[in-house]
Amino acid sequence: MPFSLDNLLVIGISSRALFDLEAEEAIFQEQGLDAYRQHQLKEETSILKPGAAFALVKALLKLNDLTPGHRLVEVVIMSRNSSETSLRIFNSIAHYGLDITRAALSGGSPLAPYLLAFNVSLFLSLHEDDVQAAINSGVASAMLYRLPENAADPEQIRIAFDGDAVIFSDESERIYQEQGVEAFEQHERENALKPLPEGPFARLLLALSYLQNNFKTPDGRAFPLRTALVTARASPAHERVIRTLRAWNIAIDETFFMGGVNKSAVLAAFKPHMFFDDQHGHCLHASNVVPTGRVPVKQGK
């Protein structure tokens, strides 16, 4: 019977997101494809260093150890490499003992058309065009920033999210941007009982919540996954968020209504494997202390 990716948390990840390939990317950009190809073939047995999403992927794959005979997570390499230049990536995967066996190697072509074919729940990349195309096709996706020095790698999986334009739609965010804070707060007061529309990461959060609520460790302890909402909202715009999560039957473990305060200190204390935000300014600050991914706004609405 064919292996099915249905009912799995499938992470699609580019080779540059999993491993540090910035020197190789510079060769490609400055010297061209042939120079890149020759470099990768020459360095085929050289092990790559971990990249921005390495710790998150490693931690998520460990969840499969909690349910012997029943996989929860599948990771698929989604790379613009050709098969000829990919052996270094597979050699590095084997070196670190990562349980990754599937790959889509597009040979320079866009990757977005293959995300749905692999039932991808989350796509992580450093290639902005691929991330934007993934978001446009309805797949939760983020463009990663460089890994900060001394990034934490806790045993417990920790993922932090911004609210508007990430977990929730950008409907309220647009009111704030176009009409100002008073109009935004008035809109949220008037709609406090109306759940916010889903954003690009809503289904991912639902999947994580399902794992938390339906699985335990073999010794009966709570599932080793913790989520946080770190939002620029504050009172009176907090009520609609709380009621929306309640309507979705989701309990976020930690919630921070920052009211415009810089998020970096809270994120440094929470120590997530990844933080997702839609605004470059927030991401730039956050990326100094924690692994960070920017979620672009969907185009072509």
252-287: burial string, b at 16+ Cβ within 10 Å, e else: beebbbbeeeebbebbeebbbbbbbbbbeebbebbb
Give the contacts of 179 (CB within 8 A, at least 6 positions apart): none
Q: State residue 12's pLDDT score.
A: 97
Helix (H, G, I), strand (E, B) or coil at 66: helix
Q: State residue 269's pLDDT score.
A: 96
Q: Which two tokens stand for residue 142?
A: 């983020």
Helix then strand count (H, E) for the chain reads 13, 10
CA distance 250 to 209: 6
CATH topology identical between 9-144 and 157-294: yes
How many C-beta atoms surround the C-beta of residue 144 within 10 A?
26
Q: State residue 152's pLDDT score.
A: 73
Q: State residue 143's pLDDT score.
A: 97
> Domain 9-144 is classified in which CATH homologous superfamily?
HAD superfamily/HAD-like (3.40.50.1000)
Indicate the burial class of 96 (C-beta count within 10 angstroms; 0-12, 13-18, 19 or more). middle
SS3 of 223-290: CCEEEEEEECCCCCCHHHHHHHHHHCCCCCCEEEECCCCCCHHHHHHHCCCEEEECCHHHHHHHCCCC
Residue type at position 67: T
Active site residues: 162
Residue among 67, 66, 71 at smallest CA distance from 4: 71
Q: What proportions of the chain, in percent to the nearest 5, are helix, strand and coil?
A: 40, 20, 45
Residue among 52, 99, 55 at smallest CA distance from 294: 52
Terminal C-alpha separation, the chain: 39
User: What's the number of CA atoms in the CB half-sphere (13 Å) around residue 30?
Assistant: 6
Helix (H, G, I), strand (E, B) or coil at 151: coil
Give the contacts of 50 (CB within 8 A, at least 6 positions apart): 18, 19, 20, 96, 147
CA distance 114 to 95: 27
User: pTM to 2 decimals?
Assistant: 0.92
**Residues in the chain, total:** 301
CA distance 233 to 129: 29
Q: What is the domain class of 157-294 according to CATH? A: alpha beta
Q: State residue 218's pLDDT score.
A: 74
- Whether the bond into 195 is cis, omega within 30 of 0: no
What's the pLDDT tens digit per position in 160-188? 999 999 999 999 999 998 999 999 999 99
Residue among 124, 115, 126, 134 at smallest CA distance from 159: 124
What's the pLDDT tens digit per position in 73-107? 999 999 988 888 899 999 999 999 999 999 999 98
Q: State residue 4's pLDDT score.
A: 60
Domain boundaries, the chain: 9-144, 157-294
CA distance 68 to 217: 11
Q: DSSP characters for 156-179?
A: SEEEEE-TBTTTB-SHHHHHHHHH
Q: State residue 222's pLDDT score.
A: 78
Spell out, as residue ranges, where the chain has pLDDT lower than 70.
Answer: 1-6, 301
